[in-house]
Chains A and B, each alone.
Chain A
Amino acid sequence: MKLELNNLTKKFGDFTAVDHINLTMNSGVYGLLGVNGAGKTTLMRMLCTLLKPTSGSISCNGKDIFKMDGEYRRLLGYLPQDFGFYPEFTVQDYLLYIATIKGLRPSVAKRKVKELIPQVGLTKAANKKMKKLSGGMKRRAGIAQAMLNDPGILILDEPTAGLDPNERIRFRNLISELSEERLVLLSTHIVSDIEYIANEILLMKDGKLMHKGTADEIIDSMTETVWECLVDKNMVSDFMKKYKISNMKSEPQGVILRIISYEKPSFDAVCVKASLEDVFLYYFGEKAGDENAAI
C-alpha cells in the first residue's frame, strides 16, 4: 500500500489549512503531530475523500483517490475526531449498518462484527444502545467500525482524546495490535501516544509538514540542547521569560526546570537526553505549552 501526496493544498477562502504537502507513505504507523489548527484534520479529511484539495493530488498505488472513488474507500478505515453515531442503535446494529455501507455482504458483515466486538472488548455491551456507552466504549466501537472492512489504510484522528489514562493505554495497545501490515496514520497532540506506537513521525505546523522521521531522527533534528537545573522558586518566572521550559517539578529545596536552550542556563545545569515532548515544545513553541496540559 502506497499513498503519495503531491503538492497537496487546501484553502478555505484566504486561509490555507494545508500548504503544499509532499509525502509518501507505505505500510507502517505514521504519527501526525501538531497543535490544534495545524491542519491535521483537514489533511486527514482529504485522505478520506471527505474534502477535495484546492490543488495537488493524492494517489493510492499510483491512482488518484478521487477518481478511484469507491474502489479507494473500500481500502479505507477512518475514525474521525468527532466520532458521531446513531444513539438509538445497539453496538451490534451500528456495526452491521457501517459494514453494510462499507459494501460487506450480510454474511461477511455478521462474521466480522462477531469477530471485532470481543477484540475491542465490547462483548458485554454488544446489545447496549450506543448512547448508553461510556466515552472509552464509544471509541472502541469507533475503532471496530474502522476495522470492519479489514482496511489497508487506517486513518485515526485524535483516537485517544478524552480518554482516561487506563482507557488510553488500552486503546494505544489495541491500535498497535491492529496496525500490522497496514498503513496507519494517527493524528494526535498527545506526544506519548505517538512515541509508543508510531514508526514514523510527521510534524505539522501551519499547514506545512515541518519534519518527518523516526522518534530518534526527530529528536536529533533539534539543534538546541535540553538542560535540567534546580532553581529557587522565586527565580522560576525569570527563567520562564528567558527560556523555553519543557517541564517543571517542585522539590523541597526548589524547582527542577527542564530547559531547551543553546546556552547553559545556569552554572549547575546538567545536559540531559532530549525527549519527544522537548521536541514538541521546540518546534511548536508557546502553543505547545497549552497542549502539553493534556499529556
Chain B
Amino acid sequence: MLQFEIKKVFSKFKNKMAMILLLIILIVTSILTMNRVEYIDTDGERSSGIAAARKLRVEQNKWAGYLTEDVFAEAVKENEQINNSKEALSDDIAAQDKAYAKKQGISDICNLIICAFSEWRDYNYYAIDNVSLEEAKQVYEKRISSLKEYLDSGEETFTDEQKNFLIQRYENLKTPFYYEYIGGWSALLQNMSTFILMLALVIGFFVSGIFSDEFQIKADSIFFSSKLGRNKAVVSKVSAGFLITTVLYVVFVLLYTAIVLLMLGADGANCPIQLDLWRSTYNVTFFQAYLLIVAGGYVGTLFAAIISMIVSAASRSTATAVIVPFMILCAFPFLSRIITLPGICSFFPDQLLEVYLSVKEFELVELGDKVMSVATVIIPAYMAICLFLLPVLYYIYKKSEIK
C-alpha cells in the first residue's frame, strides 16, 4: 500500500519536474559552496573551487596539530616576517597579493588571534599586527576575559543566569584546539542553511498533494468506501509523507555533503567549531555542529511537511497546502524582523533551519532558572510537536466526509 502511495507521488508530472529542480539546486549550491574556497598562488593569481581547496589544504596542513601558546607565537612571528617582506611593503597590489599568498597557511590561526584581540563586536584585520609574542600566548584566556568584559559592559541585557551560562561554556571549552585544514567543513556549514531551506520547500511541494489529490481527482469515494480506506490506507498516506520527507532530505543532504567534502576535503571534522566561529557557545566539533544543523533542518522540514499535509487533508486543496512551507519557512523570518519580540522569535519554526546562526551567535533560552542554547531546545520541542501532529493528521483525514 505504501509503495503505491509513493508511486502516486512520483508518477505526477509536476513532481517529476520538482525532482529535476532539486537536482539543479543540488548542483548549483554545490558549485557556489565550492567557490567559497579561494587560493592565491605564489604569483599572486587568485583561484577558487576544487583546485584552490587542494592547494590551500596542503599549505594549512603544514600547521596541523594542537594550537599551543608557542604555535600562536610562531604564527605572529611568521605574520610579522611576511608583513616586513619586500612584497608586503610594496605599493603594487600584485606584489601584496604575493605576500598574502604566503600567509594562507597560517590564515586560520591568524584569524583566531585577530578575533581574540579585536573589540567584541568588531573584526580588526590588522589587530594581529600589534600583538606581541607574549600576548599571542594569551589567546585562550583573552577569549574568556573579552566575554566577561562584554557582559559587564551592559551593551546587551543578559540575566545573571545567562551570564554564568556563557562564562561557564567558555571556560569549559577544551584547549588547546586541535587544528588542521577546515576549508571544506567551513564552506559546507555556511551554505547548509540555504540548501536546507530550498530542500524543505521542494519537499513540501512533493507531499502537499498526498491527501488533497484524492479529492481533486475525485478518487476519494472509492478510497474511503474501501475496507482499509479509513484506517490502514490513511496510515500508509501518513507514512508515505513521512518517508518521502525523510528519504529526500537524507539523500539530498548526504549528496550535498559528499559532493562538497569530496571536492573541498573532509579534514577538520574533529576540530572545534571555534576555529571558524570564535565566539560560539557550543563546545562542539565541526562534525557535531554539522549534525546539529542537519538535525534542526530535518525537524524544520518535517514540521513544514506535516503542516502542509494537515492543510492538504483539511482544505482538500493542493494549491493551499503547497503555500504552507513557504509561509512557515519564509514568512516567519520576515515576521521576526518586524516583530520586536526576540524571545518569541527564537521559537519560530524557521529557526530550525538557522541552527548555523544559533551556533554562531548568543541565542539563549531561559526556562525557569535553566539557561540553554536555542537549538538544544527547539529541535526536541518541534520533534515532539511533529510526533503529536502525525496522529492529528491521521484523524483529520480518517474523518473526511464526501459531500
Contact = CB atoms under 8 A, between A and B. Distances in A.
A246 to B, nearest CB: 34
B218 A82 contact: yes
A45 B221 CA distance: 8
Contact of B227 (A87, A93, A149): A149
A83 B402 CA distance: 13
Contact of A78 (B4, B225, B230): B225
Interface in B193-219: 214, 217-219
Interface in B64-83: none
B221 A50 contact: yes
A101 interface: yes
Q: Which of B8, B218, B222, B224 has the most CB of A within 10 A?
A: B222
A239 interface: no
A103 interface: yes
B8 A86 contact: yes
Given A52-B401, A102-B228, A78 B11 contact: no
A279 to B, nearest CB: 30
A102 B224 contact: no
A51 B7 CA distance: 29
Contacts of B403: 12, 51
B265 interface: no
Given A50-B401, A86-B8, A93-B7, A101 B221 contact: no
B225 A49 contact: yes
Interface residues of A, number: 32
A184 to B, nearest CB: 15
Contacts of A145: 222
B12 A88 contact: yes
A52 B219 CA distance: 19
Contact of A73 (B12, B225, B401): B225
A103 B219 CA distance: 17
Interface in B349-403: 401-403
B87 interface: no
B84 interface: no
Interface string A85-107: 11111000100111011110000
Contacts of B228: 70, 100-103
Contacts of B231: 69-70
Given A12-B403, A88-B11, A97-B4, A48 B221 contact: yes
B220 to A, nearest CB: 7
Contacts of B229: 73, 101
Contacts of A69: 230-231
Given A12-B403, A51-B401, A85 B227 contact: no
Contacts of A39: none
A84 B227 contact: no
Interface residues of B, number: 28
Interface string B151-173: 00000000000000000000000
Interface in A244-281: none
Interface in A15-51: 45, 48-51
Contacts of A101: 1, 223, 226-229, 232-233
A98 B403 CA distance: 21
B7 A48 contact: no
Interface in A65-86: 69-70, 73-74, 76, 78, 80, 82-86
A149 B374 CA distance: 54
Contacts of A52: 401
A80 B227 contact: no
Contacts of B12: 88
Contact of B217 (A12, A73, A84): A84
Given A50-B225, A69-B230, A83-B218, A100 B4 contact: yes
A69 B224 CA distance: 11
Nearest to A42: B403
A14 to B, nearest CB: 15
Nearest to A70: B227
Interface in A144-186: 145, 149
A229 to B, nearest CB: 46
A74 B222 contact: no
Contacts of B217: 84-87
A97 B401 CA distance: 21
A87 B217 CA distance: 9
Contacts of A88: 8, 11-13
A74 B402 CA distance: 19
Q: Which of B218, B220, B225, B228 has the most CB of A within 10 A?
A: B225
Given A50-B225, A86-B11, A98-B222, A70 B401 contact: no
A207 B48 CA distance: 76
Contacts of A83: 218, 222
A104 to B, nearest CB: 9
Given A49-B230, A69-B230, 8 more contacts: A69-B231, A70-B228, A84-B220, A88-B13, A101-B229, A102-B227, A103-B227, A103-B228
16 contacts: A12-B403, A48-B221, A49-B224, A50-B401, A73-B226, A73-B230, A78-B221, A80-B218, A82-B221, A84-B214, A84-B218, A84-B222, A85-B219, A98-B226, A100-B4, A101-B226
Interface of A: 12, 45, 48-52, 69-70, 73-74, 76, 78, 80, 82-89, 93, 96-98, 100-103, 145, 149
